[in-house]
Amino acid sequence: MSENDGQVFDRLPETPDDREVPGRASREEVVEWWAERFGVDPNRFDGYTFWEKGAGKIWILSGDVADPIAVEGLGMAFLRTRQEHWKPTTNAVQRFGRAATRNVLELDGERAARFAAGEDQEVEWDGDWGYLVVAHELAGDLEPIGVGLYLHGELRSTIPKGRRESLAEL
Amino acid sequence: MNPLKRYLPLVDDEEAFLAACERPLPYVVRVNTIKASVERARAALDGEGVGYEPADWHPGLLRLDRGSAGATWPYFHGWLHGQEEVSAFPALVLDPRPGERVWDACAAPGSKTTQLSALMDDRGLVVGNDNNLGRLSALRSNAERLGVTNLAVTNQDARNFSLKPFEGARDGHRGRGENGRGDGGGDGSGDGDAGGGGNGNGDGGEGADGEKPADPSFSAFDRALVDAPCSCEGTCRKNPDALDEWTMDHVRSVAGIQKGILRRAVQATKPGGTVVYSTCTFAPEENEAVLNHVLREEACRLVEFDAPLETSPGVTEWDGEEYDPSVERAHRVYPHQNDTGGFFCAKLEVTA
Ligand SMILES: C[S@@+](CC[C@H](N)C(=O)[O-])C[C@H]1O[C@@H](n2cnc3c(N)ncnc32)[C@H](O)[C@@H]1O
């Protein structure tokens, strides 16, 4: 099995050395990417497995199943790879982004609402460019809203159309 | 014909029953504990001035003072899921444990699937199956918004559901069990947990703890939920059309499907495992008669259980037919009992 089959989910190889399918990310690289980009402790992903279906889309599954596996869905869409800048999904950041310590941009009430509605906005940010965890204060704690793309002083909202919502300014 | 009239002989208070069926249903959300505690979700609703009243039988079910929660922050974050109050009942009866393998045979759009995941702390595996691909896409987006990661989604007719995708392709797995239960061992797969047989209450010894089981393939479930397609009069408070569309022909044909699905669920579950059967119909043809049939055909028995809300026992006689006396152990929920929709729920144990 050295081809990428779009119909089945294949478990990611443990390390780049275990790679059989060209271009496929390894588990190690995925976990390291979250550590490097967002400061998420690699232990956060203990007990999870990672899967690719189609070219570059990575799913995260709690636990494990037979590999490869032909099912309609497996775990949660997690990360887009096989492109220069890897991109986490909104749902992955909502689920795992609380553990982020780096590249987290906090928005106030009005800006958070605009971000959730899918609007792009100018923001002050002197951290890295690229994909950020965008968060706001909710019920006593910081809560990740989704993924922002920061470039040239502008924060683009990558909230998918179907998830955008017009919400109150808290 | 108003089908509700058929059931008057079964209810204790005809007037209260009919009156409750006319009233619209309160809008209820379930707190998704995968993403937030009940406390925090309530604080978020408080923060937006949304009023709510917790159901008295379950603190994580909140009756809202408005018709939707879709445009609130806690909903956006996947802390809440709109779910009819009584429909949270069967997953609690199934009582899945973290680390187990659970089949949700008729899963879309996933209210109960995602509740099962939450009850399992999002560990172990839930296989959410439905034969309707369009409805499965709703299940997938609900599961993703709610942060569920222990779900595999399949698109099969549950009546002849195949576990083949989960059995793996290695020697010793291929070619067995395509149409029957995993026989609980004998495949030398080294899956210590599954090989035990008769261990229906799962010790949660595997799962998201870092130590991977030697072999993640399996050929039988620890538990199964059959939330069957039905004639749905129980949802009349939300969807009055269910009554207009009601026909006896439909009852007969859907009962055949229900029997097939429940039989398959018993077959696909390990000895000692639990199967829960639920519907939102009052029709004994789709409830007790289905149980009666499956009790005769498959190795299982009905288990007594306490319900957290007010219920009535299953009926043992209907329309000139008599059912196995143990169907009394099932629970019927009438709308006037708890101000909910109508419901039916039975718990079976797989015996061989
Ligand atoms: C009562 S609904 C399930 C609701 C779901 N459990 C929930 O809580 O969101 C019944 C489902 O059974 C599905 N169904 C009907 N016949 C089926 C079959 N033969 N095999 C699998 N699913 C079937 C329907 O598509 C429908 O989605």
Torsion sign, CA atoms B198, B203, B208, B209: negative
In this structure, the answer to whether residues A70 and A124 fall within a common structural domain is no
- Given a cut of 90, is residue A84 above it in pLDDT? yes
In this structure, the answer to whether residues A83 and A129 fall within a common structural domain is no
Q: What CATH number does the domain containing A118 carry?
A: 2.30.130.60
DSSP-derived pairing of the beta strands B321-322 and B52-55: unpaired
Mean pLDDT of A146-164: 97
What distance in Å separates the CA atoms of residue B149 and residue B126, rounded to the nearest whole number? 9
Strand order in the sheet with A141-151: A104-106, A130-138, A141-151, A154-157, A121-122
Ranking A76-90, B201-215, B274-288 by mean pLDDT, the lowest is B201-215
pLDDT of residue B215: 87
Domain for residue A118, yes or no?
Answer: yes
Percent helix, strand and coil across chain B, each rounded to 5? 35, 20, 45
Mean pLDDT of B154-183: 70
Which chain B residue has the Cα nearest residue A44?
Answer: B210
Domain for residue A96, yes or no?
Answer: no
Domain for residue A92, yes or no?
Answer: no
Mean pLDDT of B332-347: 97
Domain for residue A49, yes or no?
Answer: yes
- Given a cut of 70, is residue A6 above it in pLDDT? no
Question: Across the interface, which of B41, B207, B217 has its CB nearest the CB of A63?
Answer: B207
| Residue at which a domain ends, from A52, A87, A122 | A87
Ligand 1 centroid–CA A167 distance in Å is 32
Ligand 1 centroid–CA B147 distance in Å is 22
Confidence of residue A3 (pLDDT cuts 50, 70, 90): low
Residues in chain A within 8 Å Cβ distance of B207: 47, 62-63
- Given a cut of 70, is residue A134 above it in pLDDT? yes
In this structure, the answer to whether residues A20 and A59 fall within a common structural domain is yes
pLDDT of residue B189: 38
In this structure, the answer to whether residues A20 and A83 fall within a common structural domain is yes
Mean pLDDT of B153-165: 98
Is the Cβ pair B208, A138 closer than 8 Å?
Answer: no
Kindly state if the Cβ of B227 falls inside 6 Å of ligand 1: yes
- Distance from the Cα of A33 to chain B's closest Cα (Å) equals 19
In this structure, the answer to whether residues A122 and A147 fall within a common structural domain is yes
Ligand 1 centroid–CA B102 distance in Å is 16
* Structure-block tokens of residue B21: 């069926």
* Structure-block tokens of residue B289: 């008669």
What distance in Å separates the CA atoms of residue B118 and residue B112, rounded to the nearest whole number? 10
- Distance from the Cα of A164 to chain B's closest Cα (Å) equals 8
In this structure, the answer to whether residues A80 and A109 fall within a common structural domain is no
Quote the mean pLDDT of chain B.
Answer: 89
User: What SS3 state is found at A90?
Assistant: helix
Q: How big is the CA angle at B207 (ends B275 and B156), to the nearest 5 degrees?
A: 45
In this structure, the answer to whether residues A152 and A128 fall within a common structural domain is yes
- Given a cut of 60, is residue B184 above it in pLDDT? no
Find, among A99, A103, A79, the residue nearest to A89 by Cα. A79
Which among B89, B106, B135, B151 is the best mutation to test ligand 1's pocket, defined by most ligand atoms within 8 Å of the CB?
B106
In this structure, the answer to whether residues A74 and A121 fall within a common structural domain is no
- Angle of the B111-119 helix axis to the B133-145 helix axis, nearest 10: 40
CB within 8 Å of chain A, chain B residues 249-278? none
- Distance from the Cα of A83 to chain B's closest Cα (Å) equals 23
Domain for residue A168, yes or no?
Answer: no
Give the tens place of pLDDT for each residue, B263-299. Answer: 999 999 999 999 999 999 999 999 999 999 999 999 9
- Given a cut of 70, is residue A35 above it in pLDDT? yes
CB within 8 Å of chain A, chain B residues 286-345? none
Give the pTM.
0.92
Closest atom of ligand 1 to CA, residue B229: 10
pLDDT of residue B193: 39
* Structure-block tokens of residue A137: 């204060």
Domain for residue A3, yes or no?
Answer: no
Confidence of residue B177 (pLDDT cuts 50, 70, 90): very low
Give the tens place of pLDDT for each residue, A36-71. Answer: 999 999 999 999 999 999 889 999 999 999 999 999
Kindly state if the Cβ of B316 falls inside 6 Å of ligand 1: no
- Distance from the Cα of A100 to chain B's closest Cα (Å) equals 16
Domain for residue A93, yes or no?
Answer: no
Q: What percentage of chain B carries pLDDT values higher than 90? A: 81
Kindly state if the Cβ of B131 falls inside 6 Å of ligand 1: yes
**Greatest Cα pair distance in chain B:** 63
A40 at interface of B, judged by CB pairs closer than 8 A? no
Find, among B131, B133, B141, B130, the residue nearest to B103 by Cα. B130
pLDDT of residue A1: 47
Residue nearest to atom 17 of ligand 1 (CA): B131
Torsion sign, CA atoms B117, B223, B304, B327: positive
Is the Cβ pair B207, A167 closer than 8 Å?
Answer: no
| Residue at which a domain ends, from A30, A57, A87 | A87
Ligand 1 centroid–CA B334 distance in Å is 22
Mean pLDDT of B39-45: 98
Is the Cβ pair A64, B167 closer than 8 Å?
Answer: no
Domain for residue A30, yes or no?
Answer: yes
Ranking B1-15, B163-177, B226-240 by mean pLDDT, the lowest is B163-177
Mean pLDDT of A9-29: 97
In this structure, the answer to whether residues A83 and A108 fall within a common structural domain is no
- Distance from the Cα of A142 to chain B's closest Cα (Å) equals 12
B125 at interface of A, judged by CB pairs closer than 8 A? yes
Query: Which one is predicted more confidently, B162 or A1?
Result: B162
CB B234 within 8 A of CB B334: no
Residue nearest to atom 13 of ligand 1 (CA): B106
Confidence of residue B214 (pLDDT cuts 50, 70, 90): low
How many domains is chain A partitioned into structurally?
2
C-alpha distances out from residue B192 to A46, B199, B201, B216, Å = 21, 11, 14, 11
Domain span at A137: 103-163
In this structure, the answer to whether residues A74 and A33 fall within a common structural domain is yes
Q: What interface predicted TM-score (ipTM) does this complex get?
A: 0.96
In this structure, the answer to whether residues A80 and A107 fall within a common structural domain is no
Q: What percentage of chain A carries pLDDT values higher than 70? A: 96
Confidence of residue B170 (pLDDT cuts 50, 70, 90): low
In this structure, the answer to whether residues A82 and A27 fall within a common structural domain is yes
| Residue at which a domain ends, from A41, A63, A87 | A87
Closest atom of ligand 1 to CA, residue B232: 1
